[in-house]
Amino acid sequence: MGRDSNIGWTDHTFNPWLGCTKISAGCDHCYAERWSGRFHLVEWGNAPRRRTSAQNWNGPLRWNDQARAASAPRTYDGKKRASGARALGHRQPDTDRSDRTRVFCASLADVFDNQVPADWRADLWHMIARTGSLDWLMLTKRPENIRRMLPPDWGYDGYPNVWLGTTVEDVRAMRRIELLREIPARVRFLSIEPLIEALPDLPLSGIDWVIVGGESGQDARPIAEEWVRDIRDRCVSAGVAFFFKQWGGIRPSAGGRLLDGRTWDEAPSGGPTRARLAEGGAPPVRGAPLARKSPHVVSGI
Ligand code: SF4
């Protein structure tokens, strides 16, 4: 079963398993549930998850080889990595992420779902530790589970190639931000998609990147320009990278993605932002434009 990653803020999408349970308003029109149902892959909700194929699990190893070859292997300090060094160099200073290959994990599941067998997640962490040329973007609606599901060697700063993110679709879901902030991570991000109501007082301390998008599909809930503008302005003021994905509508591209006459394609490029500085971090680095790369096909799900 082939699948393209056509999400604008990542290069690849990896699904280690399929299946999930709806937990909040952002799940109402779950794309993954519809996709899974169309192909009769897994029962949604309180049912066993389905691990994806060994062929699918080979994908990140291949992407890692490609990324390493394409970037004349760079470490986080910008120096060339010794030839053949595959192991992840933990605790290296990171100064530039803008040209690193990103993997979104996962679009058809939740990586911190407590109905997933623990050994599957251990295999996933092992894979992540072996693929140091990739940046892994782990997105969840269950940040309360993250801490107890991290690998034993996560350390005080987290793996240097893992970004932790949580979804915030409405005011009620803003409580997830506080939970995310408690977890050490090199990059923390918010996926505000689908944005279904205004988010006044959105807290950005400890957050490096914000992605905003409107809902798409037959029953897409409307989004208001002022909601997006308010979040954008907060990000600009706090020095947090801001990416506006889409207005949404019947199709993802229906409304385009211009906000005030331009696109917003920022992503974290290096050290802590001003919001991180407020926590006592290093000097701020503004978000850099995201270099869009060709999506790769993941087959054999
Ligand atoms: S958490 Fe994500 S994958 Fe799981 S039901 Fe909700 S929208 Fe779907």
Q: Which residues pair with 191 in a beta bridge?
A: 167, 211
* Shortest-distance Cα residue to atom 4 of ligand 1: 20
What lies within 8 Å, CB to CB, of 90 at 6+ separation is 153, 155, 159, 160
Whole-Å CA distances, 130 to 80, 84, 207, 238, 253 = 18, 12, 26, 34, 35
- For the record, the structure tokens of 111 come out as 């990586």
* Shortest-distance Cα residue to atom 7 of ligand 1: 27
Has residue 106 got a pLDDT over 70? yes
**If you average pLDDT over every residue of the chain, what do you get?**
85
Measured CA to CA, the distance from residue 269 to residue 242 in angstroms comes to 12
Q: Averaged over 185-191, what is the pLDDT?
A: 97
Measured CA to CA, the distance from residue 165 to residue 175 in angstroms comes to 13
Has residue 31 got a pLDDT over 80? yes
Which pLDDT value is given to residue 83? 34
Has residue 23 got a pLDDT over 80? yes
Q: Which residues pair with 166 in a beta bridge?
A: 140, 190
Q: Averaged over 2-14, what is the pLDDT?
A: 75
Whether 141 is in the pocket of ligand 1, judged by its Cβ within 6 Å, is yes
Distance 106 CA to ligand 1 centre (A): 10
Q: Averaged over 140-149, what is the pLDDT?
A: 98
For the segment 195-205, what is each residue's pLDDT rounded down to a tens digit?
999 999 999 99
Which of 2-6, 53-57, 158-162, 241-245 bottoms out in mean pLDDT, i.e. has the lowest? 2-6
For the segment 222-235, what is each residue's pLDDT rounded down to a tens digit?
999 999 999 999 99
Phi, psi values for residue 110, rounded to 5°: -120, 120
Whether 106 is in the pocket of ligand 1, judged by its Cβ within 6 Å, is no
Contact in structure between 165 and 190 (CB atoms under 8 Å): yes
Q: How confident is the model at residue 49 (pLDDT cuts 50, 70, 90)?
A: very high
Contact in structure between 200 and 230 (CB atoms under 8 Å): yes
* Shortest-distance Cα residue to atom 6 of ligand 1: 27
Q: Averaged over 51-57, what is the pLDDT?
A: 98
Has residue 149 got a pLDDT over 50? yes
